[in-house]
A and B are shown apart, each in its own frame.
Chain A
Amino acid sequence: MNTRRQWIVAACASMLYLAGPPALAQQTLKIGVNLERTGSGASYGVHMLMAAQIALEEINSAQGVNGHKLELVIEDNRSSPEQAVIATRNLDNAGVFAMLGPIQSSQCRTAFPAANRAGLVAISTGSGAPGLTAQNRPWTFRNAAIDQFIIDELVANLRKRYPQAKNVVAVVDPKDAYNSFLVKTVAPPALEKNGFTLVNKDALIEIPNDVADFSVFVTRIKAMNPDIVLLGLLFEQGKGFLREANRQKLVVPMFAGLGYLTETVAEAAGGIDLWAGQPFDPNAADPKVRQFVQTFKARAEKEMPSQYSTPTYIDAGAYESMYIVADALRQAKATPQSAPKEIREKVRAHLAGLKSYAGLGNQLSINQDGDAVKPTLVYRASGGRWAKL
């Protein structure tokens, strides 16, 4: 009885095995996408893919690349570092000329070394953790919001605006890797360079992400008498903190990392001067930006009605990167029959030497680490709304 069931299972397993992954047409130029389609990063992945597809359709409808159409080969890394390596390998085997993604740093950490070893160009548009590209040269690149640039710019602006300020107090979400990086690694050198002192550098105030009552933390910070507060919290928690700070009259300038540039955060900021920065402004007047944002919004509202519809820097980065890769392929005179190895090298060289490329409302250049340097747009919340400086 049991043996029969075992045979059935074996039969099913072998059918699956024989089925294998589907074969791909050879008439297109393939670009790989290693993204978080499922799992905790699914929202980012799905939106990023949409941005890449918008770029793809635009390029294909305008004669493609040297007359050939582009095609996206999609691999789901399931928001898992282990699967990200497998996805990289699958894309490598599929003969793609370049790979977009992964988005989240935890997947990039394992996928980047794998891509570097395989000699496959990898471009992440979401990861901002320091050192990722520097440790994986020459094949990995980032066209994302690099925290170091943003924080450097923010702090320089703070110094200009508040010349007398000196003491900075930082709060952090202890379990969040992004904010831990921000507060422990990225911010201190920027603060020091601009003449600030991080008074609680060795005694960061930890606010776990399921706290709903911030009163104790705000009271403690008030007692430390800071000139400026660094918010190393995810924006949801940041909102709660801001409201409590307003209630207790802790009205000092504050600044934070990514994710704060939404309306609700500006409202929560109330009387506090809140500063944040980002490399992509969806409200820019630039016609390319307006068109991209419009197309993206329309699609997002139709296909994913319960999720965000305004593109973020991740989506903008993907759109830009598709065009950059298309340019590289054009210059390399790539055809569907080209050998991946030499085309990949040409794409890599093109990216490494990219200077003053006209992106979405900005100009970007790739630095020697492989990171795209774009001007940071600095915003200040006042009167419940964000205003660009």
Chain B
Amino acid sequence: MLGQQIINGLMLGSVYALIGVGYTLVFGVLRMLNLAHAYLFMAAPFVAFLAIKNGIPSPVALIAGMSVSALLGVLLYHLAFRPIPRHHALGGFVSSLSFGVVLQVIVVNAFGSMKIPFGTGLSLPDLELGGLILSGVQALNLVMATALMIGLLVVINRTRLGRNLRALAQNESAASLLGVSVRKHVQLTFLVSSALAGLAGMMVAERFGAISAYMGDTYAIKALAVVVIGGLGDLRGAMVAGVLLGIFEVLFQAYAPPGWSEAFVWLLLIATFLFKPEGIFGMRTSRREV
């Protein structure tokens, strides 16, 4: 029973981790919070929904969803982040949110405000591990998410591209003086971050069997908690924090008095800021002067 709860928490946590990684990637290079993230998360499943409805096979539809999210992310960068002066962190906050809201209005006008059933039609057998049941589709999602995140870590830490990105995160002017093209790298960051958001959205759509224009709203704020607790800008931290938060949330919902699950997340967030502002891993990868 407890084991089953932990499996569920792992599932939820992997979604949070995916979203958190996307958020923290952008924060790392831009020092701005991308509030449109949750809306890109919401857009991908709608694209997949349209594709499936028009007879496109599910795996292709899912890739289409991720790609559209990624492209929207690049558009977002150019419209909402590039025109804002570097230090105007709240400008990025507000502008990205406006972009997200426009996206949401488009979806509501096209699909309505209610939940729409979503199914990829993929049916995989359930796995049984000593009494614990893991839905096949969920397991696949978990594997994909983990693979992607590990891949991301490898790229960030072992390749030249990753080194450039880390340099950008540490000190933008120095990095650009040393030949790192700021615009290209930031664009790439948005591309990857938004693709991850899209993937997370489709995982959630699959899990609940429904999509709605408002599905991103609850995840938006929770993802903030993930990113903070994991340490803003810290990829590994975001992953670990996401998984832990997912597990805690499920356990709290199951065993604690009502209402405490949410309160716990906020309290933990505040406590992190007060006592361990660098996040779980406590690694200051760059100056924290904002």
Q: Which of B105-113, B158-166, B237-245 contacts A (4 or more CB under 8 A)?
A: B105-113
CB contacts under 8 Å to A, within B35-54, are none
Q: Is the CB of B108 within 8 A of A236?
A: no
Question: What are the residues of chain B within 8 A of A210 when measuring CB–CB?
Answer: 218
Proximity string of chain A (17-51) to chain B, C-beta cutoff 8 Å, 1 when within and 0 when not: 00000000000000000000011111110100000
Q: Is the CB of B116 within 8 A of A174?
A: no
Answer whether A43 and B113 are a contact pair too, CB < 8 Å, given A206-B259, A208-B261: yes
Is B173 positioned at the interface, with any CB of A under 8 Å from its CB? no
User: B-side binding surface: helix, strand, loop or mixed?
Assistant: helix
Question: What are the residues of chain B within 8 A of A208 when measuring CB–CB?
Answer: 253, 261
Question: What are the residues of chain B within 8 A of A308 when measuring CB–CB?
Answer: 114
Q: Is the CB of A216 within 8 A of B5?
A: yes
Is A60 positioned at the interface, with any CB of B under 8 Å from its CB? no
Question: What are the residues of chain A within 8 A of B259 when measuring CB–CB?
Answer: 174, 206
Interface centre among B4, B114, B116, B214 (most CB of A within 10 A): B114
Is A134 positioned at the interface, with any CB of B under 8 Å from its CB? no
Q: Of all chain B residues, which has the CB nearest A205?
A: B258
Proximity string of chain B (243-260) to chain A, C-beta cutoff 8 Å, 1 when within and 0 when not: 000000010011100110
Question: What are the residues of chain B within 8 A of A204 when measuring CB–CB?
Answer: 258
Q: Is the CB of A304 within 8 A of B113?
A: no
Minimum CB–CB distance from A77 to chain B (whole Å) comes to 14
Is B207 positioned at the interface, with any CB of A under 8 Å from its CB? yes
Question: What are the residues of chain A within 8 A of B208 when measuring CB–CB?
Answer: 212, 236
Answer whether A306 and B115 are a contact pair too, CB < 8 Å, given A40-B214, A174-B258, A206-B259: no
Is B210 positioned at the interface, with any CB of A under 8 Å from its CB? yes
Question: What are the residues of chain B within 8 A of A38 when measuring CB–CB?
Answer: 105, 108-109
Q: Is the CB of B113 within 8 A of A39?
A: yes
Is B8 positioned at the interface, with any CB of A under 8 Å from its CB? yes
Question: What are the residues of chain B within 8 A of A15 when measuring CB–CB?
Answer: none
Question: What are the residues of chain B within 8 A of A306 when measuring CB–CB?
Answer: 110-112, 116
Q: List 25 A–B pairs whose Cβ atoms lie within 8 Å, in order of A's numbering.
A: A39-B108, A40-B214, A42-B108, A43-B113, A43-B114, A46-B112, A174-B259, A206-B258, A206-B259, A208-B253, A210-B218, A212-B207, A212-B208, A213-B4, A213-B8, A213-B250, A215-B4, A216-B5, A216-B253, A216-B254, A236-B210, A264-B117, A304-B112, A306-B112, A306-B116
Residues of B within 8 A of A (CB): 1, 4-5, 8, 105, 108-117, 207-208, 210, 214, 218, 250, 253-255, 258-259, 261
4 smallest beta-carbon distances between A and B, as pairs: A206-B258, A43-B112, A307-B112, A216-B254
